[in-house]
Structure 1
């Protein structure tokens, strides 16, 4: 069967998007998604998303990792699907949609290429040694490092993701270097099983962890640099709870086409 698809990227985090409001795409296992996301033999992407109808919301976001398996929340994917919904004429400049971790509010620029996505509230950040562990819609491990530019993120991240603590459920591993006026972040993502150019839930986890680490409070805006560009996290922190968390950044259509599934 032929399916029309769109390709979007948000700070280098790239996704295949399919308008599935007519239920034409049927998920029957991970092989189809795995093939479509393959960078050698398919379209190539960090993940695939279906935009579907959902009563009470503008739309529903269904997300699959590049390994073909249904996944937890993807922040940059959430921003890209908002831009996609705008392209389809489903929304204008604001939206309320449903994802796997619950409802999300987002707003998009009039030009349609900058999206601010509200993330779930966070009350708990745990410690694993000197690292931080939290769930921002997906589980994340945050490790402060120096010399991040030259770090072997693939090997270091893979080792943590597959250690005895995290191997069964998996975890996304983020390395952060505080560079003064911004945070520099690189991420090894589970499901992709490699370093990606950006991870939205990951940079969110990093910004919150660093605010706790530095004992910041109040309204906080944190610029973040990733391999694929610039993002910004803004939130309110009272010393124990994180609220009004927004992941902000670009979301752009790369191309569209047809493929057989």
Structure 2
């Protein structure tokens, strides 16, 4: 096989991006996608994203986790895809695109991509955590000993445990740094490990912290292992609207893959 691919990253959350406007990629080949994302036998990435044509918007986003399965929305992946679409000349500085959770608006400002996320109508508040869906399901809980926490063990136990079980949830651990800043570490389902950053995850954290009264700000800084992201939002009854995920999205390299998988 011969495959032209591009590698992008957004605060360390990295993706294999493929221009599939002619729809030639074997998108149902789970083993192929997992192999491409493998960091030893393939290109290496947290996920793979196809850019396809769409009749109603500028393009379509099709996202796969590193395990090869098509998955729910990926915020950093969406921002990287917008930068990729700009690189390809599909868009200039603004875009609308369709993803698994609906239509998104985005714009490019300098080196940053600002991505509008879906509205979040409700947040579930529990004794030790909150749960919300920002395009992907997210468990959010506070952890003072954030840097020494065993993210792999604790994250996996929560991801597979009650009440999530087989469907699972992404798991975010949070430490407050100031009134408008929080440190975040995320265990991602599908990757089944900690990623350096998670866009839908930091979005969930920002909304959860505002919901819990940990911040009074409408724009929050999120410090991930891979860098800083910002999330702005408006309160809307019990939920939130006009939510934007903001941060860098950079092309790392491109290449041609030529081997039999």
Q: Distance in 1 between matches of 2:165 and 2:126?
A: 15
CA contact (8 A) 1:216 1:239 kept: no
> 2-side partners of 1:212 and 1:27: how far apart?
39
After superposition, the C-alpha distances for 1:155-184 in whole angstroms (9 at most, x for unaligned) are 110110011321211100000000114100
Q: Matched residues in 2 for 1:189 and 1:234: separation?
A: 22
Unaligned runs of 5+ in 1: none
- Aligned partner of 1:66 in structure 2 is 66
CA distance in 1, matches of 2:171, 2:214: 22
CA RMSD of aligned residues (A): 1.3
The secondary structure found in structure 2 opposite 1:61 is: strand
Match of 1:100 in 2: 100
Distance apart, 1:24 and its partner CA:
1.5
Is the counterpart of residue 170 in structure 1 residue 168 in structure 2? Answer: yes
Q: Deviations over 1:86-144 (max 9, x none)?
A: 000011110000000000000002x4x31000000011111333200010000000001
Q: Distance in 2 between matches of 1:182 and 1:242?
A: 19
Match status 1:117 vs 2:115: yes
Could you say which residue in structure 1 is the equivalent of 2:210? 211
Moved over 4 A (4+): none
Asked if the contact 2:123–2:239 (Cα under 8 Å) also holds between the matched residues in 1, the reply is no
- 2:89 maps to which residue? 89
Map 1:23-172; keep pairs closer than 5 Å: 23-109=23-109, 111=110, 113-172=111-170
Q: SS of the residue aligned with 1:54? A: coil
Distance (whole Å) between structure 2 residues aligned to residue 238 and residue 55 of structure 1: 31
In the alignment, the residues of structure 2 paired with residue 138 and residue 42 of structure 1 have an alpha-carbon distance, to the nearest angstrom, of 26
Between the aligned partners of 2:58 and 2:243, the Cα distance in structure 1 is 21
Distance 2:242 2:131 in 1: 20
